[in-house]
Amino acid sequence: MKAAWAGLKLTIIPLLALGLVVVGIAALGVGAVRMSFAEVLQALGNLGHAEDTHARILYDLRMPRILVGALCGAMFAASGAILQGVVRNPLASPDIVGVAAGAGLAAVFTLLLLPKAPLWALPVGACLGGFLAFVLVYLLSIRTGEVLPIRLALIGVAVEASLDALRRLILVRADDGVAQALTFLVGTVYGADWERLWRVLPFALFLIPLALILHQKLDVLSFGDSTARSLGMRLELGRLVALLLGVALASVAVTGTGILGFVGLIAPHAARLLVGSRFHLLLPASLLLGAILVVGADTLARGLVPPLEIPAGLLTTLVGAPYFLYLMRRVGRAR
């Protein structure tokens, strides 16, 4: 029985990967111009041909959009999984502890101050902002040397809201060009192009494998300070690296899709239910679930009332916020 479940857990990862492929292919057909599966296949065969409208739509619009959505959803989810483990707080999630809004605000500043900055400047600036915001939330949450989960979440939500309001305020006053370049920050995959993928991808290719390699250290950190140190973990260094990693994953994702509300909360929680809390399975499952969630939400957002577009972040927030409330009640009771 137990062994059977252990075996099943291993098959969950390929199943989720398959799920992502299915959702991705389905997403190719949905939008203002609807395509059947056969039309999608035909258009995929004609990708190079400029005269095939379907192929142009797929290549110019939908493919980058799906890839950016999947990648950023995965990064938000991995970030949530890492933060929840390291802070030992089920409520920790990049958009709850201030990281996402900090990254968004910093992205605006970066583009305003360095309008001609190279592609990589935006994610780097966002990471800096995300980390500063997290440090601020964490310091505000410490009371008598301890950080209570609920306190961190409440202060995090407040800081997140303030930073996000500040970002919107600045964008109102900014030139049209800058404002337009950053409209996606509200949390939408709409308008994601290949350039946006190239902006995010190199960072993802560095951060995601790094997180996977460090899975055992993340496990040991989630035992808490005393046990982690007894096991020979260099606690301060280990925690710093893990937090930087968690913050960077979400901050880079913000420069791809803006803040996709609660993806960093729901995806790792669902993953934990499926594969348990050890990171060697939790991280891959979170990555895949985050990708599925965002691509799915964005497909719905395109398909519900075409040709109108609903921001994908709106849908994920609609699903995530009630779950967050439920979680707050549960964590509140446990204390």
Partner 1 sequence: MNLSTNQLYLGYDGRLVVEDLNLAIAPGQISVLIGPNGCGKSTILRSLARLLPPRQGSVLLDGKMIQHLPTKEVAKKLAMLPQMPQAPEGLSVEQLVWFGRYPYQSVLGGRTQSDREAVEWALAQTGMTVFASRALETLSGGQRQRAWIAMALAQQTPILLLDEPTTYLDLSHQLEVLQLLVRLNREEGKTVVMVLHDLNQASRFAHQLIVVNGGRVVAQGLPEEVLNEQILREVFGLKAHFLRDPETGRPYCIPYALARKEPLMVDERVEEKA
* CB 208 within 8 Å of CB 286: no
Range 147-186, binding partner 1 (CB under 8 A): none
What is the dihedral sign for C-alpha 93, 224, 205, 289?
negative
Site of tokens 């969630």: 293
Binding part of the chain for partner 1, among 148-156, 172-180, 275-283, 314-322 by CB under 8 A, reads: 275-283
Cβ closest to partner 1, residue 19 vs residue 276:
276
Cβ closest to partner 1, residue 172 vs residue 213:
213
Q: Between the CA of residue 231 and those of 55, 87, 161, 214, 241, what are the distances in Å?
A: 56, 18, 39, 16, 18
Task: Write each residue from 19 to 58 as x if it is in contact with partner 1 (CB under 8 A), else as -, in one continuous string.
Answer: ----------------------------------------
* CB 152 within 8 Å of CB 140: no
CB atoms inside a 10 Å sphere around CB 335: 7
Binding part of the chain for partner 1, among 37-45, 62-70, 208-216, 294-302 by CB under 8 A, reads: 208-216
Residue 335 interacts with partner 1 (CB under 8 A): yes or no: no
- Which listed residue (38, 213, 308, 334) binds partner 1 by CB under 8 A? 213
Query: What is the rounded distance in angstroms from the CA atom of residue 274 to the CA atom of residue 259?
Result: 25
SS3 161: helix
Q: What are phi and psi of 20, to 5 degrees?
A: -65, -40
CB of 247 to partner 1, least distance (A): 21
Range 227-246, binding partner 1 (CB under 8 A): 227, 229-234
List residues binding partner 1 (CB under 8 A). 2-3, 6, 85, 88, 145, 213-214, 216-217, 219-220, 222-227, 229-234, 272, 276-278
